[in-house]
Amino acid sequence: MSREKKRLGRDALVSCYLRYIHPTVAIQTKYPNPTITQRLNGMKVLRLEVKKVNRKDQLCVIVSHPDFSDSNQEPILLHIVKRWVTVESEGPNDLLFNINYEQEPNLSTAAEENENQIELPNIAQVENVPNEVINDPAVLAAFQDIGNVDDDDEPVADNIHNPNENLVELDQTEWGYNGICDRRASSGVNRGGASLVHHDASLQLTHLQLFEILFPTDFVKNVIITETNKKLKDHMSYSEWLLFLGINLEMCTQVGFERRSYWATDSIGKRAAPYSYREIMTRDRFEEILRNIQFTSFEPPQERDRFWEVREMIEAWNTNMERQFKPSYLNCIDESMSKWVNKWTCPGFMIVPRKPWPFGNEYHTIACASSFVLFRMELQEGKDEPPNRRQKQFSEHGKMAGKILRLTKPLHNTNSIVIGDSGFCVVKAVKEAKVLGVHTQFMIKKRRYWPKYIDGDEISNHFSDKNIGDYDRKRFQLEGTDLYTHCMKEDGYVLSVVSSFGTDTRMGNWQTRGEHRFQYPEIIHNHYQYRGVVDTHNSRRMYPIAIEEQWKTIRWPLRVFQFLLAVTEVNTNYARNYFYTRPLEDQITFRYYLAQEMKNNDNGSPKRASSRAQSVLNRHEHLSIPPNHTFAGTQLVPCKTDYIQRMCSICKKKNQRKYCSCSLGIIRCNECFKKHFMEETSCIYIGGSPTF
């Protein structure tokens, strides 16, 4: 027999999540850093009243609470949209409100409905807004009057000209290359590749083992699992955590299915999900973990800090990468976006019109240009940064300069090279990085005006009579440190880069501009060769199926975790290719392999697959034909061609050289291998349990 619903009336005591209580100012004053699951209990109902909430007239419950009063000790009236109120105890029968409870929504599924909601820009809910405003991020930024906008034409904060600022005079400025490269002239020149610090590259690690190296596993065990267990009825083990994570990753290999459909017992009238998890984890257990997952061991600070739940997690990720991964001498610094479209629920919300995902959080990131592994990040906090928070390391050198020095911290005193675009072009940062043993180069671009210490008009005049492809270098001193402006004439403009090193050595492919044929100088070659490393990493994370899009949530800290998870997933794929010479798999195939290993982990899980099921997964790998070899039947034999090109044995697609490890001699393109893999491994899980 179902429990009778308690009725709402005057003098009833009710509770509600803090995030649904208005006015927000009163809540933030008392609870500066509420969590998304934090509730306020013991509110006394006064009356019902229609109020405007989220730009709509809605029926609200007017309440009071002993913790909320003004300076005269008069109660502050709070209001809540009626659907979010939970009645704890009823008031007198004669004071009950006349409400048709049979038509009331079922609030038991409200949390899940919110988790599965389709995210739309907040402005899309405003009436009479033109479509061109919603679809154009640049126009949208101006329409919403949002301060956190990263515009490619706006100057870097450190380069904004202040008429009262006295710039340091530059010394010994002169054009011409003197035959000296400061990086090569210094002791301990670094030309080494990337490496895993504590692991032997001769060991063939599994997807999961390598993932556990690159993800802060100690933080997961000591913080995430420990803090989450405080809110769970039954404690979660590390093995169950991997199972939970594997289920989420496997669901992120598919599109178009609701989360509940993976536990459905009847798919009549609905599209059946490709996997079923009923036998390995109940839906209630999965939802309980998802609802209560915690990401910090810190208590909420007394002052308002919207980032307090994720600071420990991001720091743990950076610390783990610094301990486990040593980048090569070539690195790229750039921005990465994490998608979120509601500015009210997203601390540090940014609009970056030039990005494929223009709405959400912007991270400044740095990646190794040899292995493509992203090894350090910093969340852009913007106007939401707490004003009284202690000063960050190196911030005395300027906002962007300090950020560059923090991101390059693992490279200090290594004579490594860092390449960046005009968004990082701060001459003082180049100077301070050189002092710390890191050589940087940033493209020069006029963003409203030229960067400090860069005379763009002088550069244009110097190259006015030069031919396309001509190069020159200008040396100058900033506070006693030699820096250089490298310039090359292009068709219609002069490509300029500021750096702390570099020669006039020409390298790379020959370039043709009309009748002019030339090679790029070293610094210009570095710019074109390595500027897209972070963008390539971002592309793998975002396409074709992004974890951040498929794993829907209304909890912002969970989205930050998803970003770290997705970055680590791509890192693991690249590291497996670079350190263990395994094929670089497409990200969905790699995610599927990783999810299977997580679900079948050997950390004591009672639900792991049988050894035979595991062997089925292990014997299907998409391998490339080794150099100077070809197939004669099912045997690999030597041949004179370095990289033999064959035809796909299934679809007859040309220029293929990959095969499945289960069927030597049968060439399979990427699409045919995916189909073959799914057909061969579909026998492993039927109804969620291993069967054959």
Answer whether residue 487 shows pLDDT above 90.
yes
Answer whether residue 504 shows pLDDT above 70.
yes
The last residue of one of the domains, among 80, 105, 130, is 105
**What pLDDT score was predicted for residue 575?**
93
Pair 564, 655 in one domain:
no
Answer whether residue 528 shows pLDDT above 50.
yes
Neighbours of 101 (CB within 10 A): 10
pTM more than 0.75: yes
424 φ/ψ sector (left φ>0, alpha ψ -120 to 50, else beta)? alpha
List b or e across 131-163, with b for residues whose CB sees 16 or more CB atoms inside 10 angstroms. Answer: eebbeebbebbeebebebbbeeeebbebbeeee
**What pLDDT score was predicted for residue 582?**
84
**What pLDDT score was predicted for residue 655?**
87
Beta carbons within 8 Å of 144's beta carbon, 6+ residues apart: 122, 123, 343
Answer whether residue 116 shows pLDDT above 80.
no
Answer whether residue 507 shows pLDDT above 70.
yes
Answer whether residue 415 shows pLDDT above 70.
yes
**What pLDDT score was predicted for residue 134?**
47
Look at residue 497 and tell me if it is in a domain.
no
CA distance 568 to 316: 13
Answer whether residue 241 shows pLDDT above 60.
yes
The last residue of one of the domains, among 72, 105, 138, is 105
Pair 298, 204 in one domain:
yes
Greater pLDDT, 192 or 298: 298
Say whether the peptide bond before residue 23 is cis (omega within 30 degrees of 0): yes
Number of domains in the chain: 3
**What pLDDT score was predicted for residue 48?**
92
Look at residue 136 and tell me if it is in a domain.
no
Q: What angle do CA 359, 362, 366 make, to 5 degrees?
A: 145
Pair 663, 589 in one domain:
no
Containing structural domain, residue 61: 13-105
- φ, ψ for residue 298, nearest 5 deg: -80, 150
Pair 215, 317 in one domain:
yes
Any idea which of 86-90, 406-410, 614-618 has the lowest mean pLDDT?
614-618
For residue 153, name the pLDDT band (cuts at 50, 70, 90): low
Pair 580, 629 in one domain:
no
- φ, ψ for residue 102, nearest 5 deg: -65, -25
For residue 451, name the pLDDT band (cuts at 50, 70, 90): confident
Sign of CA dihedral 577, 549, 379, 198: negative
**What pLDDT score was predicted for residue 126?**
40
* Overall average pLDDT of the 309-326 stretch: 94
Answer whether residue 3 shows pLDDT above 70.
no
**What pLDDT score was predicted for residue 423?**
86
* Overall average pLDDT of the 9-14 stretch: 91
**What pLDDT score was predicted for residue 635?**
78
Pair 558, 623 in one domain:
no
**Per-residue model confidence as pLDDT tens digits over 246-286:** 999 999 998 888 888 899 877 555 667 888 898 899 999 99
**What pLDDT score was predicted for residue 629?**
82
Look at residue 596 and tell me if it is in a domain.
yes
The two tokens of residue 157 are 């904060």
**What pLDDT score was predicted for residue 315?**
95
Look at residue 250 and tell me if it is in a domain.
yes
Look at residue 128 and tell me if it is in a domain.
no
Answer whether residue 686 shows pLDDT above 50.
no
**Per-residue model confidence as pLDDT tens digits over 572-608:** 999 999 988 888 888 999 999 999 999 988 654 334 3
The last residue of one of the domains, among 68, 86, 105, is 105
**What pLDDT score was predicted for residue 72?**
83
Answer whether residue 129 shows pLDDT above 60.
no
Q: What percent of the chain has pLDDT over 90?
A: 39
**What pLDDT score was predicted for residue 146?**
52
Distances (CA, A) of 662 to 78, 146, 617, 619, 636: 66, 56, 10, 6, 14
Pair 681, 634 in one domain:
yes
Answer whether residue 627 shows pLDDT above 60.
yes
Any idea which of 15-29, 163-177, 283-297, 608-622 has the lowest mean pLDDT?
608-622
Radius of gyration of the chain (CA): 29
* Overall average pLDDT of the 509-529 stretch: 91
CA distance 514 to 517: 8
* Overall average pLDDT of the 665-673 stretch: 88
- φ, ψ for residue 67, nearest 5 deg: -80, -10
**Mean per-residue pLDDT of the chain:** 82
Pair 590, 687 in one domain:
no
Look at residue 645 and tell me if it is in a domain.
yes
* Overall average pLDDT of the 553-559 stretch: 91
Pair 565, 659 in one domain:
no
User: Whose CA is closest to 327, among 268, 374, 359?
Assistant: 374
Greater pLDDT, 33 or 611: 33
Q: Three-state SS for 420?
A: strand
Look at residue 626 and tell me if it is in a domain.
yes
Look at residue 241 and tell me if it is in a domain.
yes
**Half-sphere exposure (Cβ direction) of 345: Cα atoms closer than 13 Å:** 20
Pair 598, 620 in one domain:
no
CA distance 322 to 340: 28
Pair 590, 683 in one domain:
no
Beta carbons within 8 Å of 487's beta carbon, 6+ residues apart: 459, 462, 463, 471, 472, 473, 474, 494, 495, 496, 497
